[in-house]
Amino acid sequence: MADLTSNFAGIESPNPFWLASGPPANSGDQVMRAFDSGWGGAVWKTLGNPIVNVSSRLGSVNYGSHKLMGLNNIELITDRPLSVNFKEISEVKKRYPKHAVIASVMVESRADWEEMIRRVEDSHADGLELNFGCPHGMCERGMGSAVGQEPKVLQELVAWVMETTKLPVIAKLTPNITDITEPAFAAQKAGAHAVSLINTIQSVIGVDLDRLVPLPRVGNASSHGGYCGPAVKPIALRMVAELARANEFSLPISGIGGIETWRDAAEFLALGATNVQVCTAVMHHGFRIAEDLIDGLSNYLDQKGMNTVDGLVGAALPAFKEWGDLDLNHHVVAKINRETCIGCQLCIVACHDGAHQCIHPSEKAGAPADLPHRVPWVEEEECVGCNLCAFVCPVEGCIEMVEERRGDEVDTWNTRVKDGRDHVPGGLSDS
């Protein structure tokens, strides 16, 4: 059994799975139940001057019969008195000394930051997460992502915090920015111990077409919200990986964004996250998913022969490259398994209308002689290996992308340009 214990920027927890700051970590009761279900840590719902929230608050993107592919919220920070929150944090830490409890904080003035940090320290929380990510409601008040989008301001704020406390400090970053490395380096310069990302993405979840009001509807209006859930995972993975491979960036990263399963978590770890935080999946399925997260990751690490989570951290980063360094001699071709094909021909229409016109119906001339009716065939010399057919095929494993290299040596665009065998970036060439 792999050892799942985690040390993130000096904060220890039984495993790398933390509740992200949000509705599941809103109260002591919830956090304690989460720990009982197996969660290793929790970042408390952001503390600040309590606000009044709106109703309704959430919007969902459903895909087919799958609910909550993406979730958007216009809920703000805690709406409960700070004294109650801190009392509960103390209580949780007393009862669960080995679990990590992080206070997420968002206030405005330096005096408020100092006051808040003092109260966090008094509560015996294990660390601070500075919410520089919230992209709705709070940013209009000069907080949250308004800070995360201004690296200089972020750096100054982190510096205030670092002067005030000895607790581990995590800067939570917003993805609503062109270059994620800028605020991350600003946090590093100011002395933060770690960063966490991504916070939610600015979004409008949809429009009520009967009323012609955006969603979620509050009376006869709405506002943009923060997007999260499985749909944002690819965006989060890219940002985590981008930062993890950045030269001279040395802070640990807490990966956040659409993590629902142990596979998702493993992917974040493989691309450089030291631990992960989960919110939407818990909102959807409850704290009980921790059991599979732990069990699945543990089994995976065992299978990979990794004794600790750290063995996985960053393991896929060397393979995350610039496009120009990819091997142009790598080539895959679609192969359709005629035994398992059900004849829906979705691959044909996808290939013909959306790809490279190389998958044909069984009745078309050139088909293999013994091809069963409605089983499509691939004109392999025309197949570019795009994968689209395999993705639209409803039968798992029916279309396989088989590697057929075009040359023994690795050939990249960058080497071709360097050798004068290809045009330079931005240049026009007819060859």
Stretch that binds another protein, among 35-43, 286-294, 297-305, 336-344 (CB under 8 A): 336-344
Stretch that binds another protein, among 74-82, 101-109, 153-161, 344-352 (CB under 8 A): 344-352
Among 326, 384, 395, 410, binds another protein (CB under 8 A): 395
Cα–Cα distance measured from residue 157 to residue 191, given in angstroms and rounded to the nearest whole number: 11
User: Considering the rule CB under 8 A, would residue 374 count as an interface residue with another protein?
Assistant: yes
Residue 325 CA, chain-centre distance (Å), reads: 25
Minimal distance, residue 340 CB to another protein, in Å:
9
Which residues are paired to 72 by β-bridges? 59, 227
Minimal distance, residue 346 CB to another protein, in Å:
6
Measure Cα distances from 152 to 140, 155, 183, 282, 400 in Å.
18, 5, 8, 34, 50
CA 402-408-414 angle, to 5 degrees, is 100
User: Considering the rule CB under 8 A, would residue 354 count as an interface residue with another protein?
Assistant: no
User: Considering the rule CB under 8 A, would residue 344 count as an interface residue with another protein?
Assistant: yes
User: How many helices and strands, by DSSP H and E, does the chain display?
Assistant: 13, 20
Q: Which of 134, 139, 279, 389 is catalytic?
A: 134
Size of the site for another protein (CB under 8 A): 13
Site residues for another protein, 42-81, by CB under 8 A, read 64-65
Cβ 359 vs Cβ 317: under 8 Å: no
Burial label for 159, CB within 10 Å (0-12, 13-18, 19+), is middle
User: Considering the rule CB under 8 A, would residue 343 count as an interface residue with another protein?
Assistant: yes
Nearest to 318 by CA among 267, 271, 252: 271
Is 62 or 223 the residue whose CB approaches another protein more closely?
Answer: 62
Cβ 161 vs Cβ 182: under 8 Å: no
User: Considering the rule CB under 8 A, would residue 397 count as an interface residue with another protein?
Assistant: no
Contacts of 150 (CB under 8 A, 6+ apart): none
User: Considering the rule CB under 8 A, would residue 181 count as an interface residue with another protein?
Assistant: no
Stretch that binds another protein, among 106-114, 214-222, 289-297, 341-349 (CB under 8 A): 341-349
Minimal distance, residue 189 CB to another protein, in Å:
50
Burial readout 319-348 (b: 16 or more C-beta within 10 A, e: otherwise): ebeeeeeebeeebbbbbbebeebeeebbbb
Cα–Cα distance measured from residue 299 to residue 236, given in angstroms and rounded to the nearest whole number: 24
Is 134 a known active-site residue? yes
CB count in 10 Å sphere of residue 300: 17
Cα–Cα distance measured from residue 280 to residue 69, given in angstroms and rounded to the nearest whole number: 10
Is 180 or 205 the residue whose CB approaches another protein more closely?
Answer: 205
Annotated catalytic residues are 134
Task: Using CB under 8 A, list all residues that contact another protein.
Answer: 64-65, 342-346, 348-349, 361, 374, 394-395
